Amino acid sequence: MELTKLPRRGGDHLTPREIVAELDKYIVGQEEAKKSVAIALRNRWRRQQIPEHLRDEIAPKNIIMIGPTGVGKTEIARRLAKLAQSPFLKIEATKFTEVGYVGRDVESMVRDLMELAVSMVKAEERERVRAKAEEAVEERLLQLLLPAGPTPGPGRPAAEGEPPTTRERLRQMLREGKLEERFVELEVTQRATPVVEIFSSTGLEELEFNFKEMLSNILPGRTKTRRVKVREAREILLQEESQRLIDMDKVVEEARRKVEQHGIIFLDEIDKIVGRDHGRGPDVSREGVQRDLLPIVEGTTVTTKYGMVKTDHILFIASGAFHMSKPSDLIPEMQGRFPIRVELHPLGPAEFERILTEPENALIKQYQALLATEGITLEFTPEAVKELAALATRVNERTENIGARRLHTVMEKLLEDVSFHAPDLGEQTITITAEYVRKRLANLIEDEDLSRYIL
């Protein structure tokens, strides 16, 4: 089938191929999973381009990633959200219990996602108004440094031949950082926060917050004068001015749009809420959790402290090892809401070698950067990397297989002595060889009981 190449609308939107290329920078292998999430992300952009009456009918294609721990499931979802600049929440499905039991209410994940989105948009707005806030802060600092003087707006530069005023001299010194250690008297408003505790269970989490917020708004704030250095005062005033310049109504509206149209919720360990023997025992509760999750995944409206949030177009990515169960053990309605299933493959020595060296955040690169701060140039021979990968694989085979996470423990043990003595070694190059790897780790790995505790 020949595909017609259409012109791209919105050059800043990544194609599936570009998304996979970005994911390749951080995740080794797992091409099938990368391809699936890339299509899911691109479909969101495609949905925004079609007529509105049809747009609302297109549901997100939720994904179940199947594979053992430490093979990249969470990292794929996290990197995808970062690429899309989407609000992203990772939560374990086991955190929830059926309504009426002790545990978190399923709607809390939407409230948490909205909270993250508000913080995200607020940070963006703070950067947008930063220049204006800094101007206002400069004027307020000048007022603090010249308390008895006039309080005009931004000063005009002195005309040619005119001597600069005291205020303008101080302004120049302030900009040059010469007054950072001078003390000023700063009035700070402290909002009285009541001590309220409600033992929240299902449905009461929101009530607890709203009650606290209501009382804190009623009780008057207290003004306290603090004597602080100019550099500390600048930070305090910058927060105040930024807060004043930010339109919180617009922040909340944009955050809601981001959650409803671009939010991603990663449901980890979904296999732990699969009931295999229907009818009685703990499986009844597991099935209850699925039934509670179902409306959120299907699309509902959740009440948050920022107003109502629709979940119809939030993308859900679920993951699980499915050792003792399979996706078809989920209730049929839940299966229907996760149409895309991808299997992630276990990692072996070849993948471990690549993980150690290839990604932009590769473990070896991380340790090289850390030790470079002490003047140590850390080098690994190719044979050393191969030996490390082989030993990590052997530990995973003989103990619990935790995938690439094993490399973190192995690397930390390998470089323990170097890290400890680095400040005393001075500038030098340290080369890690295969022999050094065996000397540091072989005995630990041979002793199965010891390696269970240490590696």
* 3-state secondary structure (DSSP) of residue 367: helix
Closest CA to 410 of 342, 363, 346: 363
Q: Which residues pair with 92 in a beta bridge?
A: 268
Q: What is the tens place of the pLDDT at every residue in 354-412?
A: 999 999 989 999 999 999 999 999 999 999 999 999 999 988 888 888 888 889 989 99
Which pLDDT does position 377 carry in this prediction? 95
Question: What is the CA angle 420-422-425, rounded to 5?
Answer: 130
Q: pTM for the whole thing? A: 0.78
* 3-state secondary structure (DSSP) of residue 269: coil
CB 383 within 8 A of CB 437: no
Torsion, Cα 300 302 306 311, to 10 degrees, reads: -30
Phi/psi of residue 128, nearest 5 degrees: -65, -35
pLDDT profile of the chain (455 residues), mean per 10 = 38 80 91 91 88 86 91 89 90 72 75 94 91 87 72 48 72 84 79 45 49 55 77 86 90 94 92 67 70 92 94 93 89 92 91 92 94 95 94 86 89 93 92 92 73 67
What's the CA gap between 23 and 119, in Å, rounded? 25
SS (H, E, C) 288-347: HHHHHHHHHHHCCEEEECCEEEECCCCEEEEEECCCCCCHHHCCHHHHHCCCEEEECCCC
